[in-house]
Structure 1
Amino acid sequence: MSDKCCSTTGTLENDTGHDSSCCSSNRNIQDDCCSHEEHPEVKQSSGEESMEYRIQGMDCPSCAATIEKSLQKLHYINDAKVNYNTAKLQVAGSSDLQFRNVESEVEKLGFHAESISDSGTFLSYDIAGMDCGGCAKSIENHLNKMSDVNNVSVSFATGKMKIDHSNSIDDIVSEVSKVGYRATLLSENNDNPASRSSKNGFGMIGLTGVLIAAGFISSTLNMPELVSILLYASAMVISGYKPVKSAYYAVKSGSLDMNVLMSAAAIGAVLIGEWFEGALVVWLFALGNVLQDRSLETTRNSIRNLMDLAPSEAWIKVGPELVKRLVEAISPGDTVVIKPGERVPLDGMITSGETSINQAPITGESIPVYKSSGDDVYAGTINENGSIEMEVTKLVEDTTISRIIHMVEEAQEQKAPTEAFIDKFAAIYTPIVFILALAVIVLPPVFGIGAWGEWIYRGLALLVVACPCALVISTPVAIVSAIGNAAKNGVLIKGGSFLEKAGTIDAIAFDKTGTLTEGKPKVDDVHALTVSEDELLSIARTLEEYSNHPIARTVVDYAKDKDISTIAGKAFHNITGHGVKAEIDGKVYYAGNMKLFDDLNIGDTGWHSRVEDFQSEGKTVVIVGTGEEISGILTVSDSVRPSAMKALDGLKKAGVKSLVMLTGDNEGTAKMISNQTSVNRYFAELMPEDKVNAIRKLQSEGHKVAMVGDGINDAPALAMSDLGIAMGGAGTDTAMETSDIVLMADNLDKLSGTMHISRKALTIIKQNIWFSLIIKAVALLLIVPGWLTLWMAVLSDTGAALIVILNSLRLLKSGE
C-alpha cells in the first residue's frame, strides 16, 4: 500500500481510497506526506527585508498551507514559506515590513509565532509583579510600541519575557518599570526577583493594614472624619501606587487588565465617599497579589533546582597536575577527574575507572547505574563511589541537563488548547462586563430607578467582577506545575497540548523489541541440517555481517564468541522484511524468516514443522540455506524487561484501557510475549510500514492512541499516533527531538506516572475552571439585590485566584 500526500488538505490518500490523518503531532519526521518540507528559502529581492519565525501549534502540513496563504494576502508581504518539519516561517517584504503584524496575523489563525532572527538582541528576562495574564498583555502592548523592539513575548505562567530589541537592557528594564513591573535580565547568578518582590511586599501590606485598622478605629471612636480619611488615603497611596501606575500604562496601550478595573473601583469608591471600602479594596488586592506571587514562585521555579545540580567548577588534568576550572572554560576533549561523592560537571565518556552513578536528576531512576570505561555520563548526576576520569564530549550549554531545562521552559511557555480557548473567552468576557458595569452605573439613575450613589457602588463591584483572573490562570499554572514535576521525575512533556493529550489517551501501542523486551536477544539453539554447525555459523555470520537488524547483530556476536570466521562473499542484498542474501563460494545463500524460504519454493523435508515448533515456543527463527535446500536453523529469543509487567499494570490502573504490542516477529513469539506482559492485543509479522497501518486501525476504532518506541526506527508510527512517546532520551538526541513526550530512562517505569499526572492535571484544570466560573456567577447574582460589597468582590477575585494556584500546586507534589 502506497501513501500519497494530499498537499491541500493535509490528508493521506492510499490505494484503497480511504483518507487518514496526515500528521497528528508536530514532529521532525521526514516522509512523503509533507509537501511544505521542500520549500526553499524565500526569495529576497534587493530592498527587501526578511524575517524568520518559529511557529508553535501546527498539527499537520495543512496548517502550514493555511499560514502561507493568509500571510501572502497581506500587502506588505511579498513571499512567505512555512516548513512544517522544522516549524519555521520565513517572510520577505518591503523594507518597511511591519514584523509585529506578521505575529498578530499568525495568532489570529490559532498559532504562535516567535522571532528567531539573528538581528538585534534576543534576551530573556524575569518579570516580577504580574497578577494575571492581563498584566503580561499590558507589558507586551507597551513594549510593542517602541521602535527598537522587534518582538516581545511575555508568559505569565513562567514569569518570563523573551524580547528581540536593539536598544539597551537598561532601556527595557526602565520601560517595564513604567508599566509597574520589575524586569531582571536572566543569568545564572540572578537571585529570584519575584522572591524579593514578594518578601518586600509583605512589609508594605503590614503597614497599610495598620493604617486601615487605625482609620477604622478612629471612626468608631467618633474622632474627626478627616483623621480616618487621611489614614485611609495614606493606605491607598502606599498600596495603590503600583496598580494605578500599571493601570495608566495599560489603558495607554489599549489593555483592560485587573489593575485598570481595580483602580477604577477604588477611585470610584473615593468619589462617592466610601473611603474605607476603597482602602480595603486596594489592601485586599495588594495582599492577594503578594500571596499569589509567593505561591507562583514555587510553580515558576519548579525546574529551577535542576540548574543548580551541575557544579560550576571541575578538576581537569593538565599534564600530571589537576587544575580547577570553571565549567564554561572547559572544552570537549579535556579530561575531567571526578572523585567519589562529587557531581559530574559536564557530559562525557568515562576513560578510566569504574563506579556507580546516581542518574536520578536526568532519568528519574532511583537505583544507581554501574558505569565503567566507555560508558557515557551526564552533567548533574552523582558519582556514588570510585574515582573516575572522563573525556568531556559537550560544552556546558549543550549538556543533556541544559537541554532538558531549555526544553521544559519552552514547554511551560506554550499555550495548551484549553488555555488558548479561555484567553479568547476572557478577551470577550471582560469588555462585555465592563460595558455592563457602565450601564449599571448610568442607566438606572437616568430612568429614575434608585440613587446615583447606590448604582455607582453596584457598578464598581461589577467592575471588579469583570476581571477573570482566576479563570485565566486556572490552566497555565496547572500545566507548568505538571510539566515541572514530570521533568524532575525523568519525563519531558514538550508542551501543554501534549500534557492534555496524554490525559485523554485510552490506547498505547508498544514496539516489542527494546521497549517491552530487553532488546538484547541471544541465540538459543543451532540446528545444522546439511552442513556442519561451524560451517552453518560461518555462513550465517557472513550473511548477517552487513545487516544492522538486532537479530542479525545477535547472530554475528554469537559466531564471534565461538571464534567462527567469515567466508568471502559478494553481492550482498537486504530483502526488506524477509532477510538477506549474498553470493558465497559461487552459490547464493539466504538468511531470513519462513516467508523468505516459502517464496523460494523449497521443498518441505521436515524443516517447516520444526520451524513452527520453535515459533510456538516463542522463539524467533533464522533460517539459512540456498535456493534449493535448507542448510540449518538458528533460534533467537529476547527476554521481557523486568519493569514491563509492572509498568503495564500501572497503566491499566491509570485508566489506559487498551495496551497493544506491535512486532515484526512471528505469531508464536508475539503470543508468548503478550501472555507474559498481559497486553490486551498484538499485531504480529509487521513490516515497518505496517506499524503505521496498525496505529490507523486503532484510531479508526475510536481510540486516542499513544505510540511508545525508541524515537528513531519507529518514527513513522510515532508521527501517526495521537501522542508520540520516546524511550531512552538521555542517550539519543533524536529521541528528545522527534517525540511529544520523552522518557529519559530506557525503561517503562515512568510511563504510568506520566499518564497519572496528565489525568490529574486535566482533573485539576477542570476543577479550577468550574470553581472560577461558579465564583463569578455567585458574585454577579449577589450584585442584583445589592448584597455584593466592594471588598467581597475583590475577595472573590483575588481569593479565587489564590485558591486556583494552591490547587494547581498539588501537581508539584504529585507522586508517580
Structure 2
Amino acid sequence: MDCPSCAVTLEKGLSNRNGVESVKVNYAAGKMTVSAVNSGIFETIPGYVKKFGFEAEAEHTAKKPDVYEIAGMDCGSCAATIEKHLGGNSDVQSVRVNFSTGKMHISHTLTSEQIVKEVQKSGFDAKPVTLRNQKNEDQPAIKAFPVTTVSGILLALGFLGSFTAVPEWVVTAFYAAAIVIGGYKPARSAFYAVKSRSLDMNVLMVSAAIGAAVIGEWFEGATVVWLFALGNSLQNRSIERTRDSIRSLINLTPSEAMIKTENGQMKKNVEDISINEIMIIKPGEKIPLDGEIIAGISSLNQAPITGESLPVDKEPGDNVYAGTVNESGSLEVKVTRLSEDTTIARIIHLVEEAQEKKAPTQAFIDRFAAIYTPIVFILALLVMVVPPLAGFGTWGEWFYRGLALLVVACPCALVISTPVAIVSAIGNAARNGVLIKGGTFLEKAGAIKAIAFDKTGTLTEGKPKVTQVIALQDDSDTLVSIAKTIEEHSTHPIAKAVISYANERNISAKDGSDFTAIAGKGATAVIDGTEYFAGKPKLFNEMGISTAHINERIDEMQNEGNTLVAVGTRDQILGLIAVADTVRDITVSSIEKLKQAGISEMVMLTGDNEGTAKKMAAETGVDRYFAELMPEDKVTAVKKLQNEGKQVAMVGDGINDAPALATADLGIAMGGAGTDTAMETADIVLMADNLEKLPHTIRLSRKALTIIKQNIWFSIITKLAALVLIFPGFLTLWMAVLSDTGAALIVILNSMRLLKLK
C-alpha cells in the first residue's frame, strides 16, 4: 500500500465479500483486521487481497504481551526511541515502554534473544521478566565496564597534562579517548534515535560533544561527555530506588512451600502448586499462597497486604493471603489461588499498571516537551548561523553558543518531574496497604475538599446487634421467631443481627413461604397462611396502619441511636425490635486526622432514621449527614455536594455503593483484600477493612501535588536561567550540561522524598 486510499479500497472490496463481518485496514501500520462468520474464510483472504494488487499474510500474535526490564534509560525520550525502533519491526505487533517503571510490554513473534538484541541496538539492555527474576533470584549480574570512571580519569589526565610540558597532541588524545569511551553508549543511542526520527537527549549531547571537538574545544567536549555519563549514572541509581518500592512487594512471598501429601511432607516451588493442595505453615513463616485455614489457630501479621499495624486472629474457615506472616500457631492451609492470581500478585499488577498510566499533568508536559525540543533545536541552528552572517561576532563564538543551546534544548528534568513523583507516591501507598489506580487519581485525591462516607461497615463495624425487643401482642420469643422467619432470606446487616439474636437464644424460625424483599423498606413472608412484614415503621404507615399509640416509644428509641424493625401483618403491628450499630474504634481518630490533612467537610450517608443519624454523626465527628436514604439517594447526595462546588470523594465497600462511588469525583473502596470487586472497580482501594490509611493517602496525594509543582517550576526556571545566560556568553558548554543533568537529578531526589513519607 502506498497511500491511505489503498486502505479504503481494500476495506470496501473485502466488506462486500460473503461471510466477512467487518474489515479495518490501518495504512500507517500496514495491518488489516478481519472479522468473519467462520474461520475458513480467513484462508481465502490472502488470495482475495492479491486481486487488488497487494500481498497479505496471516499474523500470529502472542496471547498477551511479554514483559521485559529495560536498563539504561535516563529519561522519557529513551523510552520513545525504543518504541519507535521496535515498532518498525514487522514481527512486532505492539510495543509500549514505560520509563518510570523500566518495563517494556511487547507483543511479537520473535525469540527472547532477538528482542534483547533489538533493544541493545537502541543502546539499552533488556531482560525478560518472569516471577523468578522479579524476585531477584537470578545469578549475579556481570559487572558493567566502569565507563564513567575511566572517562573521568582520562579527562583528569588531559586536564593535568595541559599544565605541564606534555605535548599538546597527547593532551588532545586523552580528551579524545575520554569522549570516545564516555560517549560510545550515548552515540549508539543517538544513532538509533535519529534513525527512529526521535530527538532525544543523546542526540543533543552527542551533537554538542562532536561540535566542541570540531572547533577545537576538546576539554569542553570531554567534560560534556563525562558530566552527562556521571549525571545518567546518578539518575539511574535514584530511579532504581523508586522502582524498588514495588520490587520489595514482589519479594514478600517465599518461592517454596511445604506441602502435605499422603506420603508425608515435601517442599514444592510455588509455581508448581495446584489449587486445593494443603500447605503447612509453621510459626514465623510467611504464607506462600492465598488459601483457607483448615486446621490451626494463629495470629497473622497482614501489614504487607493491608497495612494494619496489629496482627489479626485467624481460625479454621478464615482466608489468609500470600506474603503475610504467621505469628504464633502452626496452620494447615488449603490453597485457593495459584501464584499468579494471589492478592499480592494482583496488587503488584495493579500498582505497575497504575504507575504506567499518565497523569493529566504528565500528559500535558509530554506534549509541551514534544514541541519545546524541536523549537529550541532549530533556534540553536539559527544562533549558529544568523548572528555571524549578520556580522555580530565570529562563527566560532556563535557556533559554541549554539552548542550550549543544544544541550539546554532537552527538557529532561521537566519530563521527569511528574512520573517519578507519581511512581514514588503510588509505591509508598502500596507498601502501606493502599492501592491508587493511577496518577490521575493521585492528583484527584490531592484536590479533594469533601468526603462522603457510607455509614454501615465504613464508619461503623457493620455488625449491628439487637438491643431491645418490645412485644405488643404475643410474647417476645414469638415476635423474634416471626422476624427470624422473614429475615432468614436476607443478607442485610440488620437481618443478620435479628437472626444472630434468635440463634443465641435458641429461638427457631417458623415454616414460611413467598419470601419477598421490599427495596429499602423491609421484607415479607407468608407464615401459616398469614402475610407478615418486617421493616421500617413507615412501611406500616404506607399500608395504612396507625403507629400513633407507639410513636412516643419509637421516637425515644430512635433518638437513642437505634434502628427499629417493626414486625406485623397488614392489620396490626405486633412489636418492635431495636438494633444498633457501633462506631469503629479507628473511625473518630481517622476523621480527626482527615480534618488536620485539610479536608473541609465530612459527610455521612445512611439509610437510618434522623435520630440514629444524628447520634452517629455526633459520635464519629462528621460535619454533616444525610439520613433515610434509599440506595439511589446516595447518588443524589453526592451530586448535591458536587453542585456546591466541592471535589467529592465517596468511601464505601465497593459493591453496594457502586453507583455513588462512580458518581463521585473519586471512588474509595474499603476492605479490598477481601473483595475482588473493590480492587477492580474503585479508583483508590484501602486493603484493610477500616479508615486507618485514608488520612495517609490524602496527605501523600497532597504532598505529591506539591512536589510535582516544585519540580515543574524548578525545571522551568533552570532552563530559562540557562537560556538567558547563553547569549551574553556566560554559560559554558560544561555548565549547560551540569545545569541539565543536575536539574534532572535534583528533581528525582525531590520526588524520592515521597517514598519516605510516613
TM-score range normalised by the length of the shorter chain: over 0.9
Pairing 1:664-743 to 2, within 5 Å after superposition: 664-743=607-686
| Match runs of 1:102-501 below 5 Å | 119=62, 122-190=65-133, 200=144, 203-319=146-262, 321-501=264-444
Q: Distance in 2 between matches of 1:434 and 1:711?
A: 50
| Corresponding residue of 2:12 | none
Q: 1:109 matched to which residue of 2? A: none
* Structure 2 counterpart of 1:566, one-letter code: A
State how far apart, in whole Å, the 1-side matches of 2:104 and 2:218 are. 37
Q: Are residue 546 (structure 1) and residue 483 (structure 2) matched? A: no
Q: CA deviation at 1:266?
A: 0.4
Is 2:469–2:577's contact at 8 Å kept on the other side of the alignment?
yes
1:562-581 matches, within 5 Å, as: 562-581=505-524
Amino acid at match of 2:262: G
* Distance apart, 1:222 and its partner CA: 4.1
Question: Is the Cα–Cα contact under 8 Å of residues 521 and 550 in structure 1 kept in the other structure?
Answer: yes
Deviations 1:493-540 (A, max 9, x none): 111111111110111110000000000000000000111111111111
Post-superposition offset of 1:73: 14
Distance, in Å, in 2 between the alignment partners of 1:617 and 1:45 is 73
Distance in structure 2 (CA, Å) of the matches to 1:401 and 1:340: 21
- Kindly tell me: are residues 73 and 704 of structure 1, through their superposed partners in 2, closer, same or farther at Cα, counting changes over 3 Å? farther
Alpha-carbon distance in 2 for matches of 1:716, 1:793: 53
Q: 8 Å contact 1:661–1:682 — kept in the other structure?
A: yes
SS of residue paired to 1:303: helix
1:600 and 2:543 matched = yes
Q: CA deviation at 1:50?
A: 7.9
- State the distance in 1 between where 2:679 and 2:352 align: 14
CA–CA distance in 2 between the matches of 1:611 and 1:810?
A: 55
User: Hey, what's the Cα distance between the residues in 1 that align with 2:106 and 2:28?
Assistant: 27
Q: 2:540–2:546: 8 Å Cα contact kept in structure 1?
A: no
Distance 2:255 2:205 in 1: 45
Percentage of identical aligned residues: 61
2:604 equivalent among 644, 661, 667 = 661
TM-superposed CA distance for 1:43, in Å, is 13
Between the aligned partners of 1:283 and 1:578, the Cα distance in structure 2 is: 75
Relative distance call for 1:659 and 1:178 in structure 2 (3 A) is: same
One-letter amino acid of the counterpart of residue 157, structure 2 = A
SS in 2 for 1:624: strand
The CA distance in 2 between the partners of 1:177 and 1:118, in whole Å, is: 23
* Structure 1 stretch displaced more, 303-312 or 659-668: 303-312
Corresponding letter in the other structure for 2:288: P
Paired residues of 2:23 and 2:33 also in contact (CA < 8 A): no
2: distance between equivalents of 1:713 and 1:184? 43
8 Å Cα contact 1:47-1:95 kept in structure 2? no
Selected match of 1:648 from 577, 584, 591: 591
On the 8 A contact 1:530/1:632 being kept in 2, the answer is yes
Q: In the superposition, relative to structure 1, how do residues 604 and 73 fare at CA in structure 2: closer, same or farther (>3 Å)?
A: farther
* Match runs of 1:489-568 below 5 Å: 489-568=432-511
CA distance in 2, matches of 1:359, 1:219: 63
Structure 2 vs 1, CA of residues 290 and 44 (structure 1 numbering), >3 Å: closer, same or farther?
A: farther
- 1:630 Cα deviation from its structure 2 partner: 1.2
User: Quick check: 2:235–2:745 contact (8 Å CA) kept in 1?
Assistant: yes
**Cα deviation, residue 578, structure 1:** 1.0
Whether the 8 Å CA contact 1:198–1:293 is kept in 2: the answer is no
Counterparts of 2:570 and 2:711, CA distance in 1 = 69
The match for 1:773 among 713, 716, 721 is 716
Mark the CA change 1:797 to 1:45 in structure 2 (over 3 Å): closer, same or farther.
farther
Quote the offset at 1:583 in angstroms. Answer: 2.0
Instruction: Evaluate the alpha carbon distance shift between residue 193 and residue 133 of structure 1 in structure 2; reply closer, same or farther with a 3 A threshold.
Output: farther
TM-score by length of 1: 0.86
RMSD: 2.6
2: CA distance between counterparts of 1:584 and 1:237? 92
Q: Quick one: structure 1 residues 578 and 170, their matched pair in 2 at CA, closer, same or farther if it must change by over 3 Å?
A: same
* Matches of 1:248 and 1:349, distance apart in 2: 56
CA drift at 1:95: 7.3
**C-alpha deviation, 1:603, in angstroms:** 2.7
Cα 1:195–1:761 change in 2 (3 A) is: farther
- The Cα offsets for residues 174-232 of structure 1, whole Å up to 9 and x where unpaired, read as 1111111111111233387999999736x321211111111111112243210110000
Q: Which runs of 5+ in 1 are unaligned?
A: 1-41, 52-69, 81-93, 97-115
Matched to 1:366, the amino acid is: S
Whole-Å Cα distance in 1 between the matches of residues 449 and 398 of structure 2?
53
2:736 to 785, 793, 805: 793
Structure 1 residue 119, shift from structure 2 partner: 3.7
> Contact between 1:195 and 1:297, CA under 8 Å: does it hold in 2?
no
Does the Cα contact within 8 Å between 1:128 and 1:193 map onto a contact in 2?
no
**TM-score (structure 2 length as normaliser):** 0.92
- Judged with a 3 Å threshold, the aligned counterparts in structure 2 of structure 1 residues 756 and 232 are, in CA distance, closer, same or farther, namely same
SS across alignment from 1:238: helix
CA contact (8 A) 1:408 1:487 kept: yes
Q: Say whether the 8 Å CA contact 1:120–1:165 is kept in structure 2.
A: no
| Letter matched to residue 328 of structure 2 | N
Taking the aligned partners of 1:530 and 1:541, their CA distance within structure 2 comes to 17
In the aligned structure 1, how far is the partner of 2:18 from the partner of 2:755?
Answer: 52
Judging changes above 3 Å, is the alpha-carbon distance between structure 1 residues 554 and 481 closer, same or farther for their aligned structure 2 residues? same
Secondary structure of 1:520's match? coil
Does the aligned pair in 1 maintain the 2:289–2:339 contact within 8 Å? yes
Structure 2 CA distance for aligned equivalents of residues 304 and 75 of structure 1? 38
Instruction: Note if contact 1:49-1:95 (Cα within 8 Å) is conserved in structure 2.
Output: no
Change in 2 beyond 3 A, CA 1:236/1:196: farther
